[in-house]
Amino acid sequence: MWTKIILLVLTALEISFLVWNVKDKRTHLRWKGAARLVLAMMITILMLVGVLQGFSRYAGIILLLTVMGILSVISLRRKGEREAKVVHQVFRAVGSGLLYTAAMLPAILFPQYKAIVPTGGHAVETALYTWTDESRVETYTDTGEKRRVTVKMYYPEEAGQYPLAVFSHGAASMIESNDSTCCELASHGYVVAAVAHPYHAIFVEDTDGNVTPIDTEFMRLAFGGTVGLSSQDWLAIYRDWMSVRTGDMNFVLDTLLAKAAKGEEGAFERIDPEHIGLFGHSLGGATCEAVGRQREDIDAVIVLEGTMLGDYVDCDGDRLLFQTEPYPLPLLDVNSDSLLENVSKDYQNRDEYINFYVVKNAVDAREVTLRDAAHMNFCDLPLVSPPLAGMFGTGKRDPRECIQTVNQMVLDYFDYYLKDSGKLTVADEY
């Protein structure tokens, strides 16, 4: 709302001066410069009193208005008021509008929003760690360096033993993509570890302040670059992605459990190693499902609209073959109705889509549908940046209510399988 208000005020300012200048045939630099400086001061005051939040959102427009105001004063002192030609005034107004829009771009892309407050009774602590996996060489560089993985921990402030839930983000996403989900779980008595996958995340900042951007080739392939490739090529790419990501998850799980066994302070001493769940969004969901097959210490897995790439095992011509061994763990597969529509268009039989095949043949699995939703409604991005989320797909559903529904569903499922709550309250449709 505030972004729109500021842009409307700036637009009104430029139109008003355009009309006034053309009418009086004068530039009115004194008043225009003063108006810009006053607006810069007002925005600054609104930030200081907490009405406007986020320095990075509004610093650009404050700086721009201040510089433009000072330049107007300098020009007035040097040349005085000048004749206002219509063409020049129109170009200046349009140019100013473009500059205002550019300066407000951070606020446009990442507008203020009200954070989701966790509903549990535990105060939530967070901590960031970066660990080096000495057993793996980084495959996205040619330096021979070992792979480093960053993890954000969410955990109850109160001492005690709590189930462990490990989260994996989607392609080109980030470690805090489901921050509200992680906070919700921690507030209800879980230790949550969100894993950042270097070169698969849009960026990863480790504890040393080093920033690792996404690998451009991975991003190209993840966003349409596999179209037209043979099934053999698809399978090779998927296997490579799964190898990297499951390696990250297994390394993090082993590290967490080792630290818990030693009783290290903070989140680690709160981990109950006998109750572990995995959950992830998109490619992160596929990662969690694959890790669930690899380990015997996982109790439940939740896939938030992620194609289960790890269960592709071979090719028969152009046809990908599935893992036929029943999925051995409790598995919750959550999809939007927009994905169901795409499946119905692409497959004659719904069981030809790997997720539905896996769920149908699993030991204990269920499928849940989120109505009026789309792919990005399973994370916080529609709240953090509605324009960016819209580019990748959001449904008609209110994004705030939607992610709160997802968070409650994740909590209910883990409560049943990790805390023996006694009753599974997850519905088949929301």
Give domain status of residue 117, yes or no.
no
Give domain status of residue 379, yes or no.
yes
Q: What is the dihedral of CA 50, 52, 53, 54, to 10 degrees?
A: -130
Report the Cα 397 to chain-centroid distance in Å: 18
Q: Both 12 and 130 in a single domain?
A: no
pLDDT of residue 306: 97
Q: What is the pTM of this model?
A: 0.90
Q: Both 130 and 105 in a single domain?
A: no
Q: Both 204 and 347 in a single domain?
A: yes
Give domain status of residue 423, yes or no.
no
* Cβ-based neighbour number of residue 339 at 10 Å: 20
Give domain status of residue 8, yes or no.
yes
Q: Both 169 and 78 in a single domain?
A: no
Query: Nearest to residue 311, comparing CAs of 235, 232, 224?
Result: 235
Give domain status of residue 354, yes or no.
yes
Q: Both 136 and 98 in a single domain?
A: no
Could you give the strand order of the β-sheet that contains 364-370, starting from the edge strand earlier in sequence?
A: 124-137, 146-156, 191-196, 162-168, 271-281, 300-304, 330-336, 364-370
- Burial bucket for residue 179 (CB in 10 Å: 0-12, 13-18, 19+): buried
pLDDT of residue 84: 66
Query: Nearest to residue 329, comparing CAs of 285, 359, 287, 367?
Result: 359
Q: Both 82 and 146 in a single domain?
A: no
Give domain status of residue 429, yes or no.
no
Range of the domain at 72: 2-109
Cα 33 to Cα 69: distance, rounded to the nearest angstrom: 4
Q: Which among 109, 141, 175 is the end of a domain?
A: 109
Q: Both 131 and 103 in a single domain?
A: no
Listed in sequence order, the DSSP H helices in 25-112 are 29-48, 55-79, 86-103, 105-109
pLDDT of residue 26: 80
For the chain, 430 residues long, give each residue's pLDDT as a single digit of tens: 888 899 999 999 889 888 888 788 887 888 888 889 999 999 999 989 989 988 889 999 999 999 998 888 787 676 666 676 788 878 888 888 899 999 999 999 999 989 999 999 999 999 999 999 999 999 999 999 999 999 999 999 999 999 999 999 999 999 999 999 999 999 999 999 999 999 999 999 999 999 999 999 999 999 988 888 899 999 999 999 999 999 999 999 999 999 999 999 999 999 999 999 999 999 999 999 999 999 999 999 999 999 999 999 999 888 899 999 999 999 999 999 999 999 989 888 888 999 999 999 999 999 999 999 999 999 999 999 999 999 999 999 999 999 999 999 999 999 999 999 888 989 999 9
User: Which residues are registered as beta bridge partners of 185?
Assistant: none
Whether the Cβ atoms of residue 403 and residue 379 lie closer than 8 Å to each other? yes
Q: Which among 109, 135, 153 is the end of a domain?
A: 109
Q: Both 85 and 132 in a single domain?
A: no
Q: Is the dihedral of CA 221, 361, 336, 407 positive or negative?
A: negative
Cα 267 to Cα 159: distance, rounded to the nearest angstrom: 9
The length of the chain in residues reads 430
Q: Any idea which residue has 């995995």 for tokens?
A: 278
User: Which residues are registered as beta bridge partners of 279?
Assistant: 167, 302
Give domain status of residue 430, yes or no.
no
Q: Both 46 and 166 in a single domain?
A: no
Q: Any idea which residue has 């920033």 for tokens?
A: 211
Q: How many domains does the chain have?
A: 2
End-to-end CA distance of the chain: 29
Query: Nearest to residue 276, comparing CAs of 334, 191, 359, 333?
Result: 191
pLDDT of residue 82: 66
Give domain status of residue 73, yes or no.
yes
Q: Both 101 and 161 in a single domain?
A: no
Cα 108 to Cα 29: distance, rounded to the nearest angstrom: 29
Averaged pLDDT of the chain: 93
Q: Strand pairing of 146-156 and 191-196?
A: antiparallel
Domain CATH for 270: 3.40.50.1820
Query: Nearest to residue 289, comparing CAs of 275, 271, 272, 277?
Result: 277
